[in-house]
Structure 1
């Protein structure tokens, strides 16, 4: 199979851009498909660590600096806007579409990660099968879609229906749910934990960092905080960390808080923590209801009392079992086959589709 994969306009497809979950999905997707023997063409910026047959530059670092100013994540959030008519989207979409048209062959797949902001690429290449291959956002457009969780698939599907009544809506046989995926060796395992809890992520209200603060303050426990934004007064703030430091912090924490207040499409931080053998403490909705085994890999909570009880109970969990569970569900070795099966399923659309035997 042949894949044309388009990255976002503001990042490089390198490990150093770890705070951008979608850029890392692009990088790892290219690695997985290339590793399975498929031909991957990547349309991105100048720096790249993803495996591909060809890297086609559709945005330079100079243009990124002109458009976004700071774009290395370590001095604060990148100033990108998400309007499909914004200059950076229009220019990179046009370049990507033109470059893909030069290389495309019949039955190639066009793989999009930017939702409606990149819809123009698919519109310019109607002869290709366009797939949104890692949906954790709401602005969907493609006929074929892979969601990060069933919770998010149902949320987006329900939000986009125009039919009256939920039972009037229809499922889509050529959509799929495939979880986010991670390179297990990047996440060190430790059976020895230090005496602190960790919150790592964007320091915005929706990520629920205040719950981690309130829990640790109530219990008089040490809380380490990492991520972009303005840190709270309580806790030890260590800034934005690189992948190596992330692994160190996660693997040695008693538990990692991921108490998202919104319906989390996936929340990669909690899987990264479990890959380190570290219990997670989350809210009880969204993807967490599918990924966190209550009382086994962590705890899903709905009150401060429950969060405090979870913080006390995490020491009793089996760290190796947590690691094994995460590797068995979310490692690239496992998820690559799920993508292989999905794209083979889409290939039947060149024949009898649903009725193929």
Structure 2
């Protein structure tokens, strides 16, 4: 199969941009499809670490400097606009459309991950199958969509359905759920933990870092905080960390807090922590209800008392079993096969589709 993969206009497809989950999904998706023997045409920036048949540069570093100024990872990505009428999207999309036009063949897939920002690509190629292959956002547009969790798939469908129309609205047979995916070698395992808890992620209210602060304050426990944004007054702040440092911090922590206050589509940090064999402490909604078995890989909580109890109980969990579970669910080796099966199913739509036997 052949894939035209459109990257994002504000980053480079390298591990350096690990704080941008969607950039990493692009990079690893290309790696997975190439490992399965497919052709991948990547429309991206100048610096690239993704495996691909051909890298087509549609955004230069000079473009990014002109569009976004001197932004660094320490600034996070909340400044980035997903408005499809903004200059960076219009230019990147126009260039991508021109380059895909030179290379497309019948029955190719067009893979988008920018939500409404990349809808123009779908409109430009009605002869291709456009797939949003990592939906953790609400602005879906394509006919074929892969969601990061069942919780998020149902949330997106529910947002478009009124109570009066529940029985008249129909599910989409070619929607699918495939979890986020990770390279196991980036997440070291430590059988012994150090005496600290970790919060790593964007330091915004919605990510719930205050819960980690309040819990560790109440217990008199050490908290290390990493990520872009204004650090809390409590805890040891270590800034934005690279891939190696992230693995070190996660693997040695007693537990990692991922207490998102919103309906988390996936929450990659908790899967990364589990890949290190480290228990997670989360809220009790969104993807966590599917990925964290209570008292096995960690704890899902609803009150400060429960968060405190969880923090005091993580040492009892089986670290090796947590890691093995995470590898079986979220490793690129496992997830690649799920994507391959999904695209093989879509390929039948050029024939009998649902009725293929």
Task: Give the structure-1-normalised TM-score.
Answer: 0.98
Aligned residues of 2:76 and 2:202 also touching (Cα < 8 A): no
Q: Separation in 2 of the partners of 1:95 and 1:230?
A: 36
Q: Which moved more, 1:158-167 or 1:267-276?
A: 158-167
Aligned residues of 1:3 and 1:108 also touching (Cα < 8 A): yes
Equivalent in the alignment of 2:184: 184
Equivalent in the alignment of 2:343: 343
Equivalent in the alignment of 2:140: 140
Report whether the alignment pairs 1:267 with 2:276: no
Equivalent in the alignment of 2:172: 172
Equivalent in the alignment of 2:39: 39
Length, aligned pairs only: 357
Q: Separation in 1 of the partners of 2:157 and 2:250?
A: 34
Q: Separation in 2 of the partners of 1:325 and 1:201?
A: 23
Q: CA deviation at 1:76?
A: 4.3
Cα RMSD after superposing both structures:
1.0
Q: CA deviation at 1:122?
A: 0.9
Report whether the alignment pairs 1:308 with 2:345: no
Aligned residues of 1:70 and 1:79 also touching (Cα < 8 A): no
**Equivalent residue runs for 1:54-133 within 5 Å:** 54-77=54-77, 79-133=79-133
Q: Deviations over 1:148-183 (max 9, x none)?
A: 000000000111236833232211001100000000
Q: Deviations over 1:69-94 (max 9, x none)?
A: 13431354463211110000001001
Q: Separation in 2 of the partners of 1:210 and 1:247?
A: 23
Q: Deviations over 1:176-220 (max 9, x none)?
A: 000000000110000110000000000000000000000000000
Aligned residues of 1:10 and 1:71 also touching (Cα < 8 A): no
4+ residue segments displaced more than 6 Å = none
Aligned residues of 2:301 and 2:307 also touching (Cα < 8 A): yes
Report whether the alignment pairs 1:325 with 2:341: no
Equivalent in the alignment of 1:246: 246
1:247 is paired with a residue whose SS is: helix
Gaps of 5+ in 1: none
1:33 is paired with a residue whose SS is: helix
Gaps of 5+ in 2: none
